[in-house]
Amino acid sequence: MSFVTTEDGAEIYYKDWGPRDAQPIMFHHGWPLSADDWDAQMLFFLGKGFRVVASDRRGHGRSSQIGTGHDMDHYASDANAVVEHLDLRNAVHIGHSTGGGQVARYVAQYGEPQGRVAKAVLVSSVPPLMVQTDANPEGTPVSVFDGFRSALAANRAEFYQAVASGPFYGFNRPGVDVSEPVVANWWRQGMMGSALAHYEGIKAFSETDQTEDLKAISVPVLVTQGDDDQVVPYKDASLKQHELLSNSTLKIYEGYPHGMLTVHADVINPDILAFIQQ
């Protein structure tokens, strides 16, 4: 397996498939998953001639279960370590959920200043700020995230089963067929990672204000989300991202859930390809 070691000793696992001279696409996964969550996208874009790269966030998947650095700054720095190790240039960075926050901070603080980024895609992503504050009254109350932490600490396996079989893919909606293999794969990825990284990651994805990250990005960005996202409310996420970004395209999918990249890959993948090829 391939790893890069960060300055603080975290070992970050990554996949790197396809021609080394092709345009690279780097994928940034959501909480509490791994690079495996991008299987449908990596195979699709590999088949279209791209070089595809994905890493496991620190404490997630096959990356080391380091006890520190579970915050957006380290997430972005770790992504930069992979990019620099592979010397990715003219890259497209695609992030889902927490991975969208990772993309926003990476592009704003590393990728764009270094001239390495061509475009970015934010899918069902957490910026600019999830938690409710005086300045963000329409955000999600902190009590909701406290509930996540309590459930994770009490019985992580049970909590992850409930998330995957319920709101993440919209499997709790009337008339929706539940895919047990999809649920099992989500659970498998989650349980591979560190309970500590996942516990502290809740604060990272919910309380990190990324308003300035979004304002700093000038490369073209596709902002996309489902309007039935029960995990990241789209009115507090994609709509605000589109307002704050200077060069964005907004696409909202009617009735699509948070995990639309998996259950609607046949629609999402071609739309992302069209954006990249514009």
- Whether 93 is catalytic is no
| 235 Cα distance to chain centroid | 18
Please give, one letter per residue, the 3-state secondary structure of 149-160: HHHHHHHHHHHH
Select from 71, 18, 68, 70 the least CA-distant residue to 45. 18
Q: Write down how long the chain is.
A: 278
Q: What's phi and psi for 95, nearest 5 deg? A: -125, 140
Q: What is the DSSP letter of 259?
A: T
- Whether 248 is catalytic is no
Tens-digit pLDDT profile for the chain (278 aa)?
799 999 999 999 999 999 999 999 999 999 999 999 999 999 999 999 999 999 999 999 999 999 999 999 999 999 999 999 999 999 999 999 999 999 999 999 999 999 999 999 999 999 999 999 999 999 999 999 999 999 999 999 999 999 999 999 999 999 999 999 999 999 999 999 999 999 999 999 999 999 999 999 999 999 999 999 999 999 999 999 999 999 999 999 999 999 999 999 999 999 999 999 99
- Taking the C-alpha atoms of residue 120 and residue 75, their distance in angstroms, rounded to an integer, is 16
All domains in the chain, ordered by first residue: 2-277 (3.40.50.1820)
Count Cβ neighbours within 10 Å for each residue of 186-218 and write b for 16 or more, e otherwise.
bbebbebbbeebbbbbbbbbbbbebbebbebbe
Instruction: Point out the catalytic residue in the list 74, 242, 258, 264.
Output: 258
User: In Å, how far are 13, 70, 224 from 173, measured between CA atoms?
Assistant: 35, 33, 21
Q: What is the pTM of this model?
A: 0.97
Instruction: Point out the catalytic residue in the list 97, 124, 194, 238.
Output: 97
Instruction: Point out the catalytic residue in the list 60, 229, 236, 248.
Output: 229
Q: Cis omega before residue 128 (within 30°)?
A: yes
- Taking the C-alpha atoms of residue 116 and residue 272, their distance in angstroms, rounded to an integer, is 19
Count Cβ neighbours within 10 Å for each residue of 13-52 and write b for 16 or more, e otherwise.
bbbbebeeeebbbbbbbbbbbbbbbbebbbebbbebebbb
